[in-house]
Amino acid sequence: MSKYWIAAISKEHTELAIKGNFIQVCHGKKAPLKRMTKDDYIIIYSSKITMKENKKCQMFTALGRVIDDHTYSFEMTEEFKPFRRNIEFMKCNQISIIPMIENLEFISDKKYWGYPFRYGFFEINENDFNFITSKMICDKNDTTNSK
């Protein structure tokens, strides 16, 4: 049975993940990625455009499916070898979270709606997943996507 996840990643890093068909979360930690299994789904939420600047994005920016059970280390530099998972990203629209907040069950305190994202990676229920993805999934004739 599939599980559903949200990863909080800057829009800039999301674009790199989409191009490389991988996910890297929580500054490259292995443990969060090990919680996922093949055929789980992941939604990426980007609070900011880049990691280093504070320009807000506040959008769900990507949607993907875990394609295998392999968690692996990737050498970005000699000192930084983050862990990754292989993801098949789907064609989708990037959508603002703001009009959705009241309907999302994982956000228990609507006034402090950003609170759940501070963990960087967490599981959501199927209802929330279906609600978010119903807004993200592209019409077959639509050429808009997150890539």
Task: Give CA–CA dist 45/24, Å, rounded.
Answer: 13
The per-residue pLDDT for 76 is: 82
* Residue 114: CB atoms within 10 Å: 14
* Residue 6: CB atoms within 10 Å: 24
Is pTM beyond 0.85? Reply is: yes
The per-residue pLDDT for 139 is: 61
The per-residue pLDDT for 53 is: 85
Q: Which CATH superfamily is domain 4-136 in?
A: ph1033 like domains (3.10.590.10)
Assigned token pair, 93 = 């629209």
Half-sphere exposure of 2 (CA within 13 A, CB side): 16
Domain ranges of the chain: 4-136
Per-block average pLDDT, block size 10, for the chain (147 residues)? Answer: 96 95 92 96 96 92 97 90 95 96 97 94 97 85 44
